[in-house]
Amino acid sequence: MKFFLDTANLQDIRTGVEMGIVDGVTTNPTYIAREGRPMEEQIRAICDLVDGDISAEVVATIAPEMISEGRALARIHPNVVVKIPLIREGIKAVKALSSEGIRVNVTLCFTPTQALLAAKAGAYIISPFVGRLEDIGSNGMDVVRDIVKLYNLHGYPTKVLAASMRGPMHIFDAAMAGAHIATMPLKVLDMLFNHPLTDKGLAMFLADYQKAFQEATVG
Ligand code: E4P
């Protein structure tokens, strides 16, 4: 399963990239707005930091405008994946952009049947939002599981990207569900490292080693 960083913050991206396990980045209009730089500039800067798929989302909501915005985003860098919301006009845009060979990540997906629409329109990636479904008392991971099953059953090549990940168990469950990608904030990626027995074990190893060599030196 690929690990994407879910942010437009360059410092977080640099920190994640240094870990050596980041395969791509997902952004959305909220993340871009937080950084205060125009979309194109920020996406270009992210592409300079990460050699992998970088999702950049359109802000138009009418198909012809989504299509021209998508084309412009795709021109920024060959690694850009155009992100399109799962609305009626969006699916028209997905069909048009995919037919031109532009890779599309269909976002704001909350049901397996919505995911079918995206796959039929030729989406490269579908993004079900797990955390936001849980926020309203639904089982978000079941949606990921069902989409993976549906796509396998019908042979759709669309990749399943588990989005809106809030903690390590989401990452584990997404991997077990067969998601191809999980996108997560740096905070969640960092949490994956944590275990008290790892820290305790390392402290013991180092103390034993130090003690043995100190004693050998003294002796
Ligand atoms: C990813 O593509 C989404 O924009 C993101 O995962 C949303 O996450 P949130 O629900 O934590 O805002």
Give the up-direction half-sphere exposure of residue 111: CA atoms within 13 A in the CB hemisphere: 4
**Residue 28 alpha carbon, nearest atom of ligand 1:** 4
Query: Can you tell me which atom of ligand 1 is nearest the CA of 135?
Result: 10
Q: What is the pTM of this model?
A: 0.95
Q: Which residues, 6+ apart, have CB-to-CB distance to 51 below 8 Å?
A: 79
Name the residue at shortest CA distance from atom 10 of ligand 1. Answer: 164
> Looking at residue 158, what DSSP letter applies?
P
Q: Could you identify the atom of ligand 1 that is nearest to the CA of residue 131?
A: 10
List, chain by chain if needed, residues with CB within 6 Å of any ligand 1 atom. 6, 26, 28, 107, 127, 129, 131-132, 163-164, 183
User: 166: CA distance to ligand 1 center in Å?
Assistant: 9
Amino acid letter, residue 30: T
* Distance from Cα 6 to the centre of ligand 1, integer Å: 7
What is the full per-residue pLDDT of the chain (219 aa) written as tens digits? 999 999 999 999 999 999 999 999 999 999 999 999 999 999 999 999 999 999 999 999 999 999 999 999 999 999 999 999 999 999 999 999 999 999 999 999 999 999 999 999 999 999 999 999 999 999 999 999 999 999 999 999 999 999 999 999 999 999 999 999 999 999 999 999 999 999 999 999 999 999 999 866 655
Surface-to-core class of residue 216, CB atoms within 10 Å of its CB (0-12 exposed, 13-18 middle, 19+ buried): exposed
Instruction: Establish whether 211 is a catalytic residue.
Output: no
